[in-house]
Amino acid sequence: MTDSGGFDNIYTAANTVSGIEASDSRLAIISNLGGGSSESTLTIVDTSGKSPLQKQIDTYQVNWSPSGKYLVSTSDSGTQIYTSDLTLVATVPTNNLSNPAWINDSSLLYSSYDQIWEFSLPTGRTSVIASAQKNHAITGINIIGDKSYVYFSAQSSAGSNDDLSISRIGLNGQKPIGFIGTLQSRLPWLDGGCLLSLTNFVKPTVQIYGGAPEDNCTSVAQTFVQGLGVDPAKLSYQETDVPPDVPASF
């Protein structure tokens, strides 16, 4: 059936829907049981809406693996992995995990406070692959399309919106650029009227905010970097009219 808005109605839930997660061929629908119950029902339907499969599962978030073969379900009571027909195949041995993200059908990443963990579905083993800065909690994980890097955001445990960082780690054994840690430990930095900060994406860039023309802030930035023992030629330098986000205590 197609309604007047041009959308196909493929499934109608009996209770309030609290979440939907799509794979290439299926939908996972989380609905509340109703009647004052805090429990939920997970329903799997294909994109035609045929043959819905239902199971009562305590969950508030689900995520399909890349092929749609597996589904990870997260709740306050734990995290389980199911097949597409809702057969339980594994339980992740970490409580209170967040931000589940699949690398492939065999490996699942997730965060637990300030660490990123990898769970191997074939072996059932977990291992830490990265840690955020001290006293920072990881707030998001995103794996880029070719699965070569994972980016994660982390926020100060003090909860300040002025102290949110984004970091990148290689998933194929790539070595980090050695001088990046040095720069991250010293920037942002205010030198005269020149406020220096770091953007670390394709090519690390020192962002320069403020200062009058006579301050020659680009030269100030290069001198500062060289003073840290880093070759200034390995960085780009960009003047900006947008002030950087810096910690409130800066």
State the DSSP code for 226. H
Q: Which of 145, 175, 205 is the last residue of a domain?
A: 175
H or E element, residue 185: helix 178-186
Q: To the nearest 5 percent, what fractions of the chain are helix, strand and coil?
A: 10, 45, 45
Please report where in the chains the tokens 């965060």 appear, as a residue: 111
- Answer whether residue 205 is part of any domain: yes
Q: Which of 158, 175, 192 is the last residue of a domain?
A: 175
Domain count, the chain: 2
Cα distance between residue 29 and residue 98, in whole Å:
19
pLDDT at 162: 56
pLDDT at 20: 92
Q: Do 166 and 183 share a domain, yes or no?
A: no
pLDDT at 201: 64
Cα distance between residue 248 and residue 69, in whole Å:
45
- pTM for this one? 0.71
Which tokens in the block code for residue 245? Answer: 């986000």
- Report the pLDDT averaged over residues 143-157: 88
Residue range of the domain that includes 171? 17-175
Please report where in the chains the tokens 């030629």 appear, as a residue: 233
What angle is formed at CA 71 by the lines to CA 66 and CA 73, rounded to 5 degrees? 135
Please state the length of the chain: 250
* Residue type (1 letter), 76: D
- Report the pLDDT averaged over residues 121-138: 89
